[in-house]
Amino acid sequence: MEGKVIVITSGKGGVGKTTATSSIGAALALEGKRVAIVDMDIGLRNLDVVMGLENRIVFNIVDVVQGKCKISQAAIRDRRIPNLFLIPASQSDNKDVLTTSSVERVANQLRKEFDYVIMDSPAGIEKGFENSIVGANEALVICTPDVSAVRDADRVIGILYSRSLTPKLIVNRIEPARVERGEMLSHEDVLEVLSIELAGLVPLDERVLISSNTGTPLVLQNDSKAGQAFKRIARRLNGEADLPIEVPNHRSSMWRKISKTFGFKK
Amino acid sequence: MINFDSSAPVRLKGVGDGFWITLDPSHPENVIKSEIDKLFKNLKHLTINASVVIDVKDAKGHDDLIENIRSYLINTFDVAKVSKPTEKRSIPTERIRQRDLSKGWNHHRSEVLMLRGRVRSGQKIEARKHVVIAGDVNPGSEIRAGGDVIVLGRLAGKVHAGYPKDETAMIFALEFKPTQVKIGEIAAAGINEDFCAKPEYACVEDDGIVVKDYMKANPFRKLPWPEAV
């Protein structure tokens, strides 16, 4: 059976595409699937840094697309998580070196070799974005709860629809305490504007920065809220569509249980 | 239930901008006058400047009686005009009925663009005439219409009605929250304050764009007859 190519995109930069790509990829691999994560941000690669695999790069996606090497030569195996592979971007080229037809060809090859191919799209809606969505079967749109990210996500969703892709939404960096105080858009506000299917909600987690800087997968840290949220998203993508979506809450679940028992509100 | 066949000396009915009095001239004049008096006193200020039609049904003549009542009504209740019913139906009514029978809109080819679904950021909708959108219009989108813009949902984009110069155009939305509004050549910036979700519409008044509560000032209520647009 052929695998799926899932593109992770957002329009706006810095909303957590790369973190989401590496976390969801790693979580799917932990579920026992054979996963390739592909950095499509040609010229500004950083998925390799986030995954801690920078020093092992020999070939990259541009080499694969241009036929200079095989997929198996460019795919770097992650030593911590079996079945997880990274195909890095090129740092020296720019986004115009790839053509949509050649990327589509490689996407079809990848689909044959892996269960899941997660593509990390660059910010923006130009050539690099076009290249990353051309071979995709599914799309995930990442959005943070702020007005500009929602605006850009809305634009991207429109483009994805026009390419017959029905995207799902991940709302990232939710700060439940600030949502409760009314300082931040809630995920409901975001959904009201974007109105697409929700894939998951990810709370703000300071561990994300630490794990990106040290190159350790977020999903391997059991006490990381964001890591756990990405794990649930991966399970949902991997067939458990009914897995309920957990809304981040700033009180601990123990306190909630006690409150419920004594009949306190909230 | 009202018994229309009753032979009460005076019967009163409200019509259009006035009243219709049906008299039974077989009753004595003073009885009729006192009955009218009773009915008109109940109407209070509504009689002022009203136009009154006196109908004696099939009874012919009685011009004296009508004339007496006419002067009585004008002097006592300040009505504007007292007349007899016209022989035929008024021409406008007749014309309207004909129009109704011909059902002009059955053969009307509409230039209205009607869309269903969400208009997203970056999308631009251009229509030669009116545009109706059954769905929300997200911020960052643009709508430009030669005529009216009607949004059955939340309008939060940039909207231009009456492009290029028609200032009679209007913009309606169930939730009126545009970032920028333009009607004809007049533009206004959207206001974020005091937003509450209610049907509103924008139109041009005294060279400026005003936004009104649709339920209070429905602009279509004034139109007496459905017209195809």
pLDDT tens per residue, range A79-100? 899 899 999 999 898 888 899 9
HSE-CB for A236 with a 13 A CA cutoff: 22
B165 lies in some domain: yes
Interstrand relation of B200-205 and A197-203 (parallel, antiparallel or unpaired): unpaired
Q: Say yes or no: B119 and B194 in one domain.
A: yes
Of A85, A137, A140, A83, nearest to A111 by C-alpha is A137
Distance from CA of B141 to the nearest CA of A (A): 9
Quick one: average pLDDT of B34-63?
A: 81
Q: Do A155 and B140 touch (CB under 8 A)?
A: yes
B97 lies in some domain: no
Point out the domain boundary residue: B68, B83, B98: B83
Q: Say yes or no: B167 and B119 in one domain.
A: yes
Mean pLDDT of chain A: 91
Q: Do A155 and B136 touch (CB under 8 A)?
A: no
Q: Say yes or no: B202 and B120 in one domain.
A: yes
Q: Do B139 and A158 touch (CB under 8 A)?
A: no
- What is the domain count for chain B? 2
Would an 8 Å CB–CB cutoff place A146 in contact with chain B? no
Tens-place pLDDT, residues A11-38? 999 999 999 999 999 999 999 999 999 9
B199 lies in some domain: yes
At A104, which amino acid appears?
A: E
- Chain B residue set in contact with A, beta carbons under 8 Å: 118, 120-123, 136, 138-140
Of A33, A32, A73, nearest to A56 by C-alpha is A73
| pLDDT for B205 beyond 60 | yes
Quick one: average pLDDT of A164-179?
A: 94
- Predicted pLDDT of residue B91: 60
- Predicted pLDDT of residue A124: 92
- Predicted pLDDT of residue A168: 96
CATH of the domain at B131: 2.160.20.70
Question: Other CB atoms closer than 10 Å to residue A23's CB: what's the count?
Answer: 30
Q: Say yes or no: B118 and B77 in one domain.
A: no
Distance from CA of B139 to the nearest CA of A (A): 7
Q: Do A154 and B122 touch (CB under 8 A)?
A: yes
Cβ neighbours of A195 in B, within 8 Å: 118, 136
Question: Does an H or E element contain A227, and which?
Answer: helix A225-237
Q: Say yes or no: B63 and B18 in one domain.
A: yes
Q: Do A158 and B136 touch (CB under 8 A)?
A: no
Q: Say yes or no: B156 and B205 in one domain.
A: yes
Mean pLDDT of chain B: 84
Would an 8 Å CB–CB cutoff place A151 in contact with chain B? yes
| pLDDT for B227 beyond 90 | no
Whole-number Å distance between alpha carbons of B128 and B112: 8
The count of residues in chain A is 266
| pLDDT for A64 beyond 60 | yes
- Predicted pLDDT of residue A259: 59
- B189 or A1: whose pLDDT is higher? B189
B172 lies in some domain: yes
- Predicted pLDDT of residue A258: 59
Task: Please tell me the pTM assigned to this model.
Answer: 0.72
Q: Do B121 and A195 touch (CB under 8 A)?
A: no
Tens-place pLDDT, residues B101-119? 566 677 777 889 999 999 9
Distance from CA of A148 to the nearest CA of B (A): 10
Locate the chain A residue with the closest alpha carbon to B155.
Answer: A193
The percent of chain B in helix, strand and coil, each rounded to the nearest 5, is: 20, 35, 45
Would an 8 Å CB–CB cutoff place A94 in contact with chain B? no
| pLDDT for B75 beyond 90 | no
Q: Say yes or no: B115 and B165 in one domain.
A: yes
Locate the chain B residue with the closest alpha carbon to A153.
Answer: B121
Whole-number Å distance between alpha carbons of B55 and B38: 18
Q: Out of B38-42, B44-48, B179-183, pick the least confident.
A: B44-48
Q: Do A158 and B122 touch (CB under 8 A)?
A: yes
Whole-number Å distance between alpha carbons of B106 and A147: 46
Q: Say yes or no: B61 and B126 in one domain.
A: no
In terms of residue numbers, what domain contains B176? 110-213
B161 lies in some domain: yes
- Predicted pLDDT of residue B68: 85
* Structural domains of chain A ordered from first start: 4-262 (3.40.50.300)
Do B100 and B94 meet the contact criterion of CB atoms below 8 Å apart?
no
- Predicted pLDDT of residue B216: 87
Point out the domain boundary residue: B83, B100, B122: B83
Burial class (CB in 10 A: 0-12, 13-18, 19+), B48: exposed
* ipTM exceeds 0.90: no
Tens-place pLDDT, residues A103-127? 999 999 999 999 999 999 999 999 9
Query: Which one of A152, A155, A195 has the shortest CB-CB distance to B118?
Result: A195
Whole-number Å distance between alpha carbons of B206 and B225: 27
pLDDT band at B1 (very low <50, low <70, confident <90, very high): very low
Would an 8 Å CB–CB cutoff place A155 in contact with chain B? yes
Question: Does an H or E element contain A211, and which?
Answer: helix A207-214
Would an 8 Å CB–CB cutoff place A189 in contact with chain B? no
Bond into B164 cis (ω within 30): yes
Q: Say yes or no: B78 and B154 in one domain.
A: no
Q: Say yes or no: B154 and B202 in one domain.
A: yes
Q: Do A151 and B139 touch (CB under 8 A)?
A: yes
- A52 or B221: whose pLDDT is higher? A52
Q: Which of B121, B123, B141 to mutate to test the interface with A (most CBs of A within 10 A)?
A: B121
- Predicted pLDDT of residue A102: 93
Residue-by-residue DSSP string for B39-58? HHHHHGGGGTT-EEEEE-TT
The pair of three-digit structure tokens given for residue A223, joined into one six-digit string: 């006490």
| pLDDT for B206 beyond 80 | yes
Q: Say yes or no: B119 and B208 in one domain.
A: yes
Quick one: average pLDDT of B52-57?
A: 83
B61 lies in some domain: yes
Q: Do A151 and B123 touch (CB under 8 A)?
A: no
Share of chain A above pLDDT 90, in %: 78
Helices (H) and strands (E) in chain A, counts: 12, 8
Instruction: Using only the alpha carbons of chain A, give its radius of gyration.
Output: 18
B91 lies in some domain: no
Whole-number Å distance between alpha carbons of B143 and B120: 11
In order of A26, A54, A82, A220, the CA distances from A79 in angstroms are 12, 13, 7, 13
pLDDT band at A250 (very low <50, low <70, confident <90, very high): confident
Do B52 and B19 meet the contact criterion of CB atoms below 8 Å apart?
yes
B228 lies in some domain: no
Distance from CA of A255 to the nearest CA of B (A): 36
Q: Say yes or no: B137 and B197 in one domain.
A: yes
Which long-range contacts does B128-136 make (Cβ < 8 Å, 24+ apart)? B129/B229, B130/B229, B136/A193, B136/A195
Whole-number Å distance between alpha carbons of A153 and A167: 10
